[in-house]
Amino acid sequence: MREQPEIMQTSALPTVQDVLRRGAEFLCGVGVESARFDAELLLCHVLGWSREKLWLNQKESLEAARRELFEQVLRRRARREPVAYITGIREFWSLDFLVSPVVLVPRPETELLVEIALRLVESVDVADSKLRILDLGTGSGAIAVSLARESENVEVWATDISPGALEVAEANAVRHGMIERIRFCEGDLFEPVTEFEDAFDMVVSNPPYVKREEMKDLPPDVRDWEPRLALDGGPDGLDFYRRMVEEGHAFLREGGSMLLEIAADMGNEVSELFGKVGRYSQVDIYQDYAGRNRVAVAHKRS
Ligand SMILES: C[S@@+](CC[C@H](N)C(=O)[O-])C[C@H]1O[C@@H](n2cnc3c(N)ncnc32)[C@H](O)[C@@H]1O
């Protein structure tokens, strides 16, 4: 790995364009895949600029103090720290979410789960009452906050076993004006909502689903930085699905839906889990825009 990016080694006052190019080259040289994009995000972060402003001000020169700050964040990225942990922000569902190393960085794939949940919300006639949604393992609150923001007809309960994650999720609910619409509860899966039998119209979750022996093969950005608690799905990756499918029907009203994000190779296994419990209608597996299985949906039957 080249230790010294060339950004600081210049006598002339470099422009945004120069600094960006050298930053991208540095990240590329140490093997960061999305080098150019990451360099842009990091420079925007250091300058407090939007990407549009970065593009419109390519010829502006950058003084040493800012170049040094940029170099510091480039070095963090070279150690594979995710950009979102460096900037403290990640966009999800067109909203800016606060993130820190206690939460999984919300992924664009998870937006499909939000999209399907909203379609279901729209298809249900709620009359005077609101739809109750339970988000298990809320992490940064990305799913819970997006659902609440998007539909006035929902009340959301969001649980997580990690107190640190819940703090971040609550901060995001405040940030997006949703703190009155979401109840945050600390505990193991359904444990914080045991008094809500037959109460929820929808249970949604993006649970930890990496197979334990595959944890070591994850990209270093994920393996070395994101919380193990958010990733490890047990020996076959299905620990959380087993529990959610077996325990979850008790908390759903009749006809209520369970929506679970799944790994691409888990469609059959998760469908079988629903089938084995025998309390759900047929399972639908939805694919993401890359054509990979991504979300399993089943409805509680009588
Ligand atoms: C894959 S992350 C998903 C985070 C967020 N929902 C998202 O989609 O970005 C899984 C979350 O489940 C939480 N978790 C792990 N074990 C749990 C348990 N037994 N009960 C409740 N939450 C748990 C983790 O702390 C983590 O926040």
Tell me if 96 is assigned to some domain: yes
Same domain, 110 and 140: yes
Residue 125 sits in the same domain as residue 230:
yes
What's the token pair of residue 294?
Answer: 């991504």
Rounded to the nearest integer, the mean pLDDT of the chain is: 95
136 in the same domain as 248 = yes
Between the CA of 209 and the centroid of ligand 1 the distance, in Å, is 10
Give the C-alpha separation, 129 to 138, whole Å: 24
User: 126 pLDDT exceeds 70?
Assistant: no
Q: For ligand 1, atom 6, which residue shows the shortest CA distance?
A: 138
37-51: pLDDT as tens digits = 999 999 999 999 999
Q: How far is the CA of 136 from the centre of ligand 1 (A)?
A: 7
158: its two tokens: 């969001």
Q: Say if residue 146 is in the same domain as residue 187.
A: yes
Residue 187: how many other CB atoms lie within 10 Å:
13
pLDDT digits (tens, 9 = 90+) for 103-125: 999 999 999 999 999 999 998 86
Q: Is the pLDDT of residue 69 over 90?
A: yes
| Whether 228 contacts 218, CB under 8 Å | no
Q: Judge if 214 and 101 occupy the same domain.
A: yes
* Final residue in a domain of this structure, among 60, 79, 98: 79
The structural domain count of the chain equals 2
**287 and 163, same structural domain?**
yes
Closest by CA to 101, choosing from 121, 76, 120, 122, is 76
Grade residue 1 by pLDDT with cuts at 50, 70 and 90. Answer: very low
The stretch 265-275 carries a mean pLDDT of 97
In-domain check, residue 84: no
What pLDDT score does 302 carry? 76
- Report the CATH number at residue 274: 3.40.50.150
Å from CA of 119 to ligand 1 middle:
23
Whose C-alpha lies nearest to ligand 1, atom 2? Answer: 230
Q: How confident is the model at residue 297 (pLDDT cuts 50, 70, 90)?
A: very high
Structural domain boundaries enclosing 219: 90-299
Q: What pLDDT is attached to residue 8?
A: 54
CA distance 92 to 258: 22
Tell me the two tokens of residue 63: 């003084």
Give the binding-site residues of ligand 1, using a 6 Å CB cut-off: 103-104, 106, 110, 136-140, 142-143, 159-162, 165, 188-189, 206-208, 229-230
Could you give the dihedral angle defined by the CA atoms of residues 206, 245, 286 and 263, in that order, rounded to the nearest 10 degrees? 50
How do beta strands 95-98 and 89-92 pair? antiparallel
For residue 124, what pLDDT is reported?
82
- Identify the pLDDT of residue 6: 57
Going from the Cα of 130 to the center of ligand 1, the distance in angstroms, rounded, reads 25
- pLDDT at residue 269 greater than cutoff 70: yes
Percent of the chain with pLDDT over 70: 95
Write out pLDDT tens, residues 54-63: 999 999 999 9
The answer to the question of residue 179 being in a domain is yes
Q: Give residue 129's pLDDT.
A: 81
Give 114's contacts (C-beta < 8 A, 6+ positions apart): 93, 143, 146, 147, 150
The answer on 118 and 73 residing in a single domain is no
Residue 85 lies in a domain: no
Task: Write out pLDDT tens, residues 177-235.
Answer: 999 999 999 999 999 999 999 999 999 999 999 999 999 999 999 999 999 999 999 99
- Do 60 and 203 have their domain in common? no
Whichever domain contains 67, its CATH number is: 1.10.8
Could you give the CA distance from residue 167 to residue 49 in angstroms, rounded to a whole number? 27
Question: Residue 10: its pLDDT value, please?
Answer: 59
Q: Are residues 152 and 66 in the same domain?
A: no
